[in-house]
Amino acid sequence: MLKRSLATSAKQEFSYHSNYKFKCGLEIHTQLKTKYKLFSLSRTSFNEPSNTRISYFDIGLPGTQPILNPEALYLALRASVALNCDVQPISKFDRKHYFYPDQPLGYQITQQFHPLAKNGYLNLTKFDNTAVQGRIHIERVHLEQDTGKKHGNEIDYNRAGTPLIEVVTKPDFENIDQVLAFVKKYQLLVRYLNVCSGDLETGAIRVDVNVNVNNHPRVELKNLATTGDIVRALQYEYNRQIEVLESGGRIEQQTRNWDGFSTNLARTKENAVDYRYFPDCELPPIVLEENITEDIKSLMPEYPEDLLKRLTSKPHLLQLVDAKRLIAEPKLLHYYETFFKLYNHPDANKWIFQEMLTAFAKENKTFDTNIVSSKTLACLANLNMSLVSKRLVLRYMIRNDEECLKDALKALGLEEEQNGESFSVEDLCRDIINANPKIIKRIQSGHIKATEVLVGQAIKATRGKVDADTIRKKFVELL
């Protein structure tokens, strides 16, 4: 009954108690986008049949030895530099001993004593949420190997040995909104840098939270799979700890799991001594040159924060939600920037987000630059024809995988319209002028808005094939 009450409270009526200070830190496990595993030549796998991407080392066969994957090291360095960390000139691997079926070696190779990077930070700004601005400090970033995964009674070792970085923050979070903003910002950053796919749902990013109230012992909540789970689990656990304290109980340091409704005790929290850490005798130290940070920085793209500033400012003036979408989809970002250079027009943003992407969605197709290239879209947008006709052409190209604009115009019988039909438009406008002497008299007496009546008649007569601006200009010229 208490669990259900707390769950309902956390979901519907959550609020912070003035007498209990919320405090939280994160441990974020991030799978690196490498071709091979961290210490073997097995290919990384996310959707392959169970136990088809494993080697002798991955399953702990005696006599096999680890060899560090340099691609994983490089991606870990990119993430560390992006998180403003001090990259360590020398880092070392250690063995963390525990005996679970998903860890066939009997230990996990990690970096407990000498991590790859330390003392970083990530700023929360107005682009994240105006109410959560501040600096979150990063305690450490270290390399380690992932474990296998249990499916019912079967252990799939495809994931075992997949390279991870673990990002450990300081307990700087003072509310749940800050936690949510940080996780989303981190997702965007690693996805944009191509360090990780950035997905929580697939386990590419797995978040553990350490939460306490009023500096009582912290409780760790493991493997929260979605941002919604993170929010609800923290709300529930905050209320649970307050309930325990107000009933005269004591908060114990422990690990708890989230089942979608409540947190449940998994085990009493271990300390470092329980894992019997000691240096890995088979892996040499990682020794880096002094200027490695500057070298990595020189290879980095424009950071997402800087991109957001640029895309939401002149000349782009994008909505923040659209700018974030571009950053999350690098191919779309490149497409947008190329199109913007070719079609320097106030309607450029509308053509991408309201016309092109909407057209793909209406045709139930995934956005594909090969069907409608940025150059083709710019040519279409520049055609002297009505917006209705342009939409028809765009939908036709997407529906039929038609890459040639001229062929699409021909198939729809719009070849003449693209030339503006200047003579026929003039003849049409003269006919309408001659047929409406009363309206012409009003216009000539100063009622300029009456011109729109003539424009409407012309659009109706052409069935929308000529755009309103072309017709309006012709009437002004003739009158």
- 127 shares its domain with 243: yes
Q: How far apart are the first and last CA of the chain?
A: 81
**pLDDT higher than 50, residue 433:** yes
Model confidence pLDDT, tens digit, residues 362-405: 999 999 988 999 999 999 999 888 787 888 899 999 999 999 99
**Rounded to an integer, what distance in angstroms lies between the CA atom of residue 248 and that of residue 338?**
64
CA distances from 112 to 95, 288, 348 (A): 8, 18, 51
Model confidence pLDDT, tens digit, residues 265-296: 988 766 667 788 999 999 999 999 999 999 99
Q: How confident is the model at residue 272, as a pLDDT?
A: 62
Identify whether 197 is part of a domain. Answer: yes
Q: Domain residues for 98? A: 2-292
**Rounded to an integer, what distance in angstroms lies between the CA atom of residue 471 and that of residue 425?**
7
- 272 shares its domain with 161: yes
Give SS3 for 235. helix
Model confidence pLDDT, tens digit, residues 310-346: 999 999 999 999 999 999 898 999 999 999 999 988 9
In this structure, of 290-304, 365-379, 464-478, the range with the lowest mean pLDDT score is 464-478
- 94 shares its domain with 241: yes
Q: What interhelical angle do 176-192 and 70-82 show, nearest 10?
A: 130
Q: Find out whether 327 and 307 touch, Cβ atoms under 8 Å.
A: yes
Helix (H) or strand (E) holding 386: none
Helix (H) or strand (E) holding 22: strand 22-31
Residues 146-169, mean pLDDT to the nearest whole number: 93
- 220 shares its domain with 104: yes
**pLDDT higher than 70, residue 420:** no
> What does 154-183 look like in DSSP terms, one character per residue?
EEETTSTT-EEEEEEE-S-B-SHHHHHHHH
- 373 shares its domain with 455: no
**pLDDT higher than 50, residue 248:** yes
Identify whether 49 is part of a domain. Answer: yes
Q: Considering 247, 271, 292, which residue would you say is the last residue of a domain? A: 292
Q: How confident is the model at residue 2, as a pLDDT?
A: 52
Q: How confident is the model at residue 1, as a pLDDT?
A: 44
Model confidence pLDDT, tens digit, residues 104-122: 899 999 999 999 999 999 9
- 109 shares its domain with 234: yes
- 156 shares its domain with 121: yes
When pLDDT is cut at 50, 70 and 90, the band that residue 448 belongs to is confident
When pLDDT is cut at 50, 70 and 90, the band that residue 98 belongs to is confident
Q: Which of 266, 207, 197, 258 is nearest to 232 (CA)?
A: 258
- DSSP structure class, residue 40: S
**Rounded to an integer, what distance in angstroms lies between the CA atom of residue 128 and that of residue 136?**
13
Give CB contacts under 8 A, 24+ apart, made by 441-447: 443/479, 444/479
Q: How confident is the model at residue 348, as a pLDDT?
A: 95
Q: Considering 373, 400, 419, which residue would you say is the last residue of a domain? A: 419
Q: Find out whether 136 and 121 touch, Cβ atoms under 8 Å.
A: yes
Q: What is the CATH number of the domain that holds 459?
A: 1.10.10
Q: How confident is the model at residue 46, as a pLDDT?
A: 77
Angle at 207 between CA 44 and CA 154, to 5 degrees: 50
Amino acid at 185: K
Q: What is the average pLDDT value for the chain, to the nearest integer?
A: 90
Model confidence pLDDT, tens digit, residues 211-246: 999 999 999 999 898 999 999 999 999 999 999 999
Q: Considering 272, 292, 312, which residue would you say is the last residue of a domain? A: 292
- 449 shares its domain with 473: yes
Model confidence pLDDT, tens digit, residues 8-55: 444 457 999 999 999 999 999 999 999 999 999 999 987 889 999 999
Q: Per the confidence metrics, is the pTM higher than 0.85?
A: no
Identify whether 309 is part of a domain. Answer: no
Q: Which of 322, 327, 112, 85 is nearest to 198 (CA)?
A: 327
- 77 shares its domain with 60: yes
Identify whether 305 is part of a domain. Answer: no
Tokens of 60: 């702990």
Q: How confident is the model at residue 129, as a pLDDT?
A: 82
When pLDDT is cut at 50, 70 and 90, the band that residue 168 belongs to is very high
Model confidence pLDDT, tens digit, residues 41-94: 999 987 889 999 999 999 999 999 999 999 999 999 999 999 999 999 999 999
**pLDDT over 70, % of the chain:** 94
Tokens of 127: 């682009």
Identify whether 174 is part of a domain. Answer: yes
- 354 shares its domain with 213: no
The strands making up 86-87's β-sheet, listed across from edge to edge, are 86-87, 117-124, 134-145, 163-169, 22-31, 205-213, 219-224, 254-258, 263-268
- 413 shares its domain with 442: no
Look at the chain and report how many structural domains it folds into. Answer: 3
Q: Which of 176, 220, 243 is nearest to 6 (CA)?
A: 243
- DSSP structure class, residue 373: -
Tell which wins on pLDDT, 296 or 413.
Answer: 296
Identify whether 34 is part of a domain. Answer: yes
Buried b / exposed e across 209-227, counting CB within 10 Å, b at 16+?
bbbbbeebebbbbbebbeb
- 282 shares its domain with 202: yes
Q: Which of 30, 32, 60, 26 is nearest to 44 (CA)?
A: 32
**Rounded to an integer, what distance in angstroms lies between the CA atom of residue 188 and that of residue 250?**
39
Q: Find out whether 24 and 210 touch, Cβ atoms under 8 Å.
A: yes
Within 38-133, strands assigned E span: 86-87, 90-91, 94-97, 107-110, 117-124
Identify whether 383 is part of a domain. Answer: yes
Identify whether 437 is part of a domain. Answer: yes
